[in-house]
Structure 1
Amino acid sequence: MTRLQEFVDGPVADGRLAGAVALIATTDGDREVAVAGRQAFGGAPMTRDSVFRIASITKPITAAATMALVDRGVLELDAEVRRWLPELADPPVLRRPDGPLDDTEPIERPITVRDLLGFGGGHGFIADFGAPVMAALFGELLQGPPAPAQVPPPAEWLRRLARIPLVHQPGRGWTYNTGADILGVLLSRATEQPLDRVFAELLFEPLGMTDTDFTTPRGGAARMTSLYRGSTLVDGPDGQWSHPPAFPSGAGGLVSTAADWCAFGLMLLNGGRYRGRSVLTEESVRLMTSPQHVAEPGNMFLQDQAWGFGGSVDIVTPEPWNVVGRYGWIGGTGTAGYIYPGAGTVAVWLGQRELQGPDDSDLIGDFLGDVADRVAARHGSQPTRPRSSE
């Protein structure tokens, strides 16, 4: 049994997961896949092409689609988003991030495409979940665990967003999540196409990502996994992802497979090319995977790392799974997707249990710690130790 197989077998054997798929691949052509358990407790066996709700590892894909439109001249990084989103032309700004929603000041400059990509636009999560702005984001916009059947269509969603003040002036801070959903609406309006078609034409078709969409892929119903909160079923194969959503979420709405996200990662590692085809320019990949915002100390989302476009970038190594230069993110449904540019490596973990605390995140942390060891070995340096063996 391989070490990778042990990582997926363990949480299945002790009942923490119904099943999981893990994948590690390199630009040299090496690939290892480990599969364990079932698509649901008591359900069909898990397979390497089982379909998962990938949550926030949607964000790098949304950023890549945005950069593809920048490459094509449809968008410019410093273009003002009010051109396509007039609802956000003149939003008020909170005087204090945790202050009352009516204690605001005027916006000093317009929000740009670059602001949304780097989560510097002013809309999004702060660390104080009891703040009035957080209640508005969760209550008005349903910003939280993905719930595609409940979120209103883009026009209504933007109307609600326009009533919520910015947490900070554009470019003067970093707030999590909402910027990716705003980007999704912008991409649709800029191209005059539904977001699923934008993603398909720019990324999924050239990368062969046939199982990635905002709804269960055609012919994929039998491969759709169930989602759990602990051992409680949250969404089954015939649930919220079984039909197209009114609001395709660029922040966390996609379903995918390990192989599909791997193809996306390999494209980034190859400077925007995949199987001889150019998907992004090297400059767009460089911008995506380079630090655009360095977290303030103790930031609960970035944990002292930086943010690129659509994902975090490791700049320090406080934990065994951190590797300087690593780019990617973790999804709240128990998923992770990262690339390691210095080692030409992609790592994908797909689980089906919502992350509720440290015990859940350790499932992914142990796997990513092992990837960090492999990356160190490829560099001939001293490997780190996964958290579970400390």
Structure 2
Amino acid sequence: MTSLHDTLMAHVRDGSVPGAVGLVARGDRVETAAVGYVDVDRSAPMTRETVFRIASITKPVVAAAVMVLVDEGRLALDDSVAPWLPELAAPVVVRTPSSPVDDVVPAARPITVFDLLNSCAGYGFSSDFSLPALAPLFGELKQGPPQPQGVPAPDAWMAALARIPLLHQPGEKWLYNTCSDIQGVLISRVTGRPLPEFLSERLFEPLGMADTGFAVPPARLDRFTSYYRPSGTGGGLERADAPDGQWSTEPAFPSGAGGLVSTLDDWYAFGRMLLADGTHGDRRILSSEAVRTMTSDRLTTAQRKDSDLFLEGQCWGFGAAVDIGTAHPWSAPGRYGWVGGTGTTAHVVPSTGTVSIMLSQVEMTGPTAPATMRDFWRYAAAY
């Protein structure tokens, strides 16, 4: 069997990524690798301490924070979100998914906390990006590739959201991304505190996630990667963001869908907490029931129908996908985790006690995972 180092290095050599870091742990057995460089100029080598924009593997972290509030009785899964998000107290829904944004009907029932957590509130991306109701998500809400300095503050963002109709009735269909951003606002409204402050106190500090947040402080910018996207058919890379760019200052809108920066070991601490049924050392972060709820299949067959553009045969828990079969060589029943559009992926497999994390710095060109991730997943599955 090849090593994790060689698995990742193959993609540095072929120019897919300037560098990458990876970790696969099963019980007490841990293998890590850091290959290549933090940028195309090879200004510094990748290390285990390198900081990355983790994009959508932010989602399970924010879902866990919602479950902290459920554990405390400050929220219930079947609660309407209206008391905290009055902008969503009387939503309207487009008559059909392809209807114009002004052809609407009232929502059949309120949006609940559960709807936000399993991404079935009616807001988000579908497999057809041409639908009229999706355009405002990209234009007004800045959904899509993370751009933290371009998104309005939470109250203004929610006011804009209130003007956009739902694509489906609450509870009817799984849609991607937007519900995680709404979760971040919900946490702030329920607690009366900014989302970064609550996450720091209840998750990051207890778990020792010292490098995780919505911006990189000046003293740590030397450990922060540049961020790239493919530059067309030539196979090159163009820089989308520098270390002193959009993540070097706190954003007005801390995105629960994709705004965090983090490191290999920080996300590993989060993953180990999930495998330990919500505990970290002698401290309980989440109840066992909360962990089981968020890492289990929470979609009906009807809800996930036509969602294969994103899910590829998987199901969805709270904040991440859940394997429900063996559709791929890397599949494992109960495998919980997700990918980030900035080139990141992280999963836990409760049945085997496995955590697997790979972080790179090249934007995905679509919902299909690149070869770098798929080779990493195969390696982790055989570990």
Q: What TM-score, normalized to structure 2? A: 0.95
Structure 1 vs Structure 2 CA RMSD: 1.4
The 2-side partners of 1:121 and 1:22 are apart by 34
Q: Which residue of structure 2 lines up, in the alignment, with residue 310 of structure 1?
A: 319
In the TM superposition, residue 299 of structure 1 has moved relative to its aligned partner by 2.4
Q: Which residue of structure 2 lines up, in the alignment, with residue 381 of structure 1?
A: none
Structure 1 residues 14 and 359 mapped into 2: Cα distance closer, same or farther (>3 Å)? farther
In the TM superposition, residue 112 of structure 1 has moved relative to its aligned partner by 0.8
Q: Which residue of structure 2 lines up, in the alignment, with residue 337 of structure 1?
A: 346
The 2-side partners of 1:276 and 1:322 are apart by 32
The 1-side partners of 2:367 and 2:188 are apart by 37
- Identity between Structure 1 and Structure 2 (%): 53
Letter in 1 for 2:331: N
Superposition pairs for residues 179-190 of structure 1, below 5 Å?
Answer: 179-190=179-190
CA contact (8 A) 2:127 2:306 kept: no
Superposition pairs for residues 256-267 of structure 1, below 5 Å?
Answer: 256-267=262-273
The 2-side partners of 1:72 and 1:31 are apart by 34
Letter in 2 for 1:331: G
Q: Which residue of structure 2 lines up, in the alignment, with residue 235 of structure 1?
A: 241
CA contact (8 A) 1:184 1:249 kept: yes
Q: Which residue of structure 2 lines up, in the alignment, with residue 89 of structure 1?
A: 89
Letter in 1 for 2:266: D
The 2-side partners of 1:191 and 1:358 are apart by 34
Q: Deviations over 1:223-269 (max 9, x none)?
A: 00011002100001000000000000000000000100011000000
Q: Deviations over 1:52-109 (max 9, x none)?
A: 0000000000000000111112211111111011111101111211221111111111
Q: Secondary structure at the match of 1:219?
A: helix
Structure 2: 5+ residue stretches without partners: 231-236
Structure 1 residues 298 and 243 mapped into 2: Cα distance closer, same or farther (>3 Å)? closer
CA contact (8 A) 2:322 2:335 kept: yes
Matched, 1:139 2:139: yes
The 1-side partners of 2:217 and 2:200 are apart by 12
Letter in 1 for 2:94: L
Q: Deviations over 1:128-165 (max 9, x none)?
A: 10111121110111100000010000111111111111
Q: Secondary structure at the match of 1:339?
A: strand
Superposition pairs for residues 86-165 of structure 1, below 5 Å?
Answer: 86-165=86-165
Letter in 2 for 1:29: D
Which of 272, 281, 284 in structure 1 is aligned with 2:287?
Answer: 281
The 1-side partners of 2:97 and 2:217 are apart by 40
Q: Which residue of structure 1 lines up, in the alignment, with residue 177 of structure 2?
A: 177
The 2-side partners of 1:25 and 1:217 are apart by 29
Report which stretch shifted further, 294-303 or 319-328.
294-303
Superposition pairs for residues 71-86 of structure 1, below 5 Å?
Answer: 71-86=71-86
The 2-side partners of 1:358 and 1:190 are apart by 32
Q: Deviations over 1:35-62 (max 9, x none)?
A: 1011111221111110000000000000
Structure 1: 5+ residue stretches without partners: 375-390
Q: Deviations over 1:194-245 (max 9, x none)?
A: 1001111111011000000000146321100011002100001000000000
Letter in 2 for 1:252: G
The 2-side partners of 1:106 and 1:348 are apart by 42
In the TM superposition, residue 298 of structure 1 has moved relative to its aligned partner by 5.7
Letter in 1 for 2:132: P
CA contact (8 A) 2:343 2:362 kept: yes
Q: Deviations over 1:325-357 (max 9, x none)?
A: 100000000000100111101000001000115
The 2-side partners of 1:192 and 1:81 are apart by 15
Letter in 2 for 1:372: A
In the TM superposition, residue 29 of structure 1 has moved relative to its aligned partner by 2.1
CA contact (8 A) 1:119 1:175 kept: yes
The 2-side partners of 1:212 and 1:15 are apart by 28
The 1-side partners of 2:25 and 2:193 are apart by 33
The 1-side partners of 2:352 and 2:241 are apart by 37
Letter in 2 for 1:285: V
Letter in 1 for 2:117: L
Letter in 2 for 1:299: D
Q: What TM-score, normalized to structure 1? A: 0.93
Q: Secondary structure at the match of 1:243?
A: coil
Q: Which residue of structure 2 lines up, in the alignment, with residue 290 of structure 1?
A: 296
Letter in 2 for 1:40: D
CA contact (8 A) 2:59 2:256 kept: yes
Which of 372, 377, 383 in structure 2 is aligned with 1:363?
Answer: 372
CA contact (8 A) 1:297 1:304 kept: no
The 2-side partners of 1:205 and 1:217 are apart by 16
The ranges of structure 1 where at least 4 consecutive aligned residues each deviate by more than 4 angstroms after the TM superposition are 357-360
The 1-side partners of 2:142 and 2:278 are apart by 33
Q: Which residue of structure 2 lines up, in the alignment, with residue 272 of structure 1?
A: 278
Aligned residues: 373
Superposition pairs for residues 59-70 of structure 1, below 5 Å?
Answer: 59-70=59-70
The 1-side partners of 2:272 and 2:136 are apart by 38
Which of 244, 250, 253 in structure 2 is aligned with 1:244?
Answer: 250
Q: Which residue of structure 1 lines up, in the alignment, with residue 234 of structure 2?
A: none
